A and B are shown apart, each in its own frame.
Chain A
C-alpha cells in the first residue's frame, strides 16, 4: 500500500464515520466526568448496561431492531431524494394502530392470526401517516422535511389523546391511580421471545434484519430500486426516461413511514404490551441517525443500529448506576451527526485530491451530499 492509498483510506467515509464516533464518545466521557462519574466508573456502567447481563443484551437487541426498521425506511426514501424526519410520528401512528387492533381482538386469538394483524395494522398506519406528507410533496411540492417534522407533533398529541380518553384506547378507569395507557394486548399479539434464556430479546430483531435485507435486495437487484436511485440522483433525467416521478416519490416516502409504523407496532407488542405516552421516545430520531451514518450500505446500517441500540441501553444504566443523566447519550448521538455532516465535504475533497488526477473530477460532487 503506497501513501496515496493510505491517504485515500484515511478519508474514506467509513474512516471518517469511525473518527466521528471516537471523538463523540470522548466528549461523552468528559460529560460523564462533569456529572461526577470517573471515566472508569462510567465505562464500567456503560458496558454493564450494554452487554453485562443477558437481560441487558436482550434489551439492546430489541432497541436495535426498532432502529434498523426506522433506518431501513429512512434509506429507502433518502435514495429517492426525500428526507424523512417523521420517524417519531410514524412510530406513534403504528403503535396506536397496533394497540387498537391488539386490544380489540378476542382473547385466545392464535398468534398466527393476531400477530400478523397487529403488525399489518401498524405498517398501514405508518404508511398512511407518512402518506400525508408524501402526497403533499409529490403533488404540491411542499417540503417533506417540514411536513414530516410538523406531523411528529400532531402524532404525539394524537397519541396523548388516545391514551387519555376512555372512549378511545385508555384502559378501563377503575380508580384514580389508573395510568393513562391502553389495556394490554391479547396474548396472541405478544411478540414471541427469541428463546434465549433469561433474555427479553424477541423475534423483532429477525423481522428487522429481514427488512434490512429486503431493502438491500431492492436496491441491488430490482428495477424499482434503480428507478428510486435514478429519481434521487436526477429527477428530471428520470422523468424523461419514463419514471413516474410523483407516484414513485409518494410510494417511497409512504413506504418509509410503513417501516417506522411496523417498528411502532413491534414496540407495543413487546413487554409490557401496552401503549403509553413516550413509548417511542427518541427512536425516530436515532433511526434517522442510523440511516445517515450507514451512507447507503445495508451492512453498515445493521452494524450502526446494533451499536446505537447497545449505547441506548448502556446509557440508561449509566444513569442508574453512575448517576450520569441519560441525555449524555443523546449529546453523543447528535455530535456524531454534526461531525459527519461537517466532515463529508472536506473528506471528499481531500480524498479526491489524493487520487490520480484524471478521476478527480467525477466523484467529489456526488460525495458532497449537500446538493439537495
Chain B
C-alpha cells in the first residue's frame, strides 16, 4: 500500500508540476512576473554574455543559485505559497515577481 501511495505521489509530481522558463537577457528577467504552483520548478537561463546570480530572500522559498555562467541553466523548486521577489546579486535592477499558489 505504501509503495502504491509513494508511486502515485511521484507520478502526480511529474504529471502536475510544471517547469517555468525564465530567461536572463539584457540584465532583465524575461518574463518579469510569474504565476506558479507549489511543487513547480523554475529554470533560469542565462542568455547574457556575462554571469548572473538569481536569489530570493523569501524565508519560505529561499534560494541562491550562485554565479551562473553565460549559456547555462539552473533550476529551483517552489516550496511554499506566497508572493516573493527574485533578484540578481550582481545586477540590482533585475527583478522577478513570483506569485506561488497551492
Asked if A and B bind, the verdict is: no
A residues adjacent to B (C-beta < 8 A): none
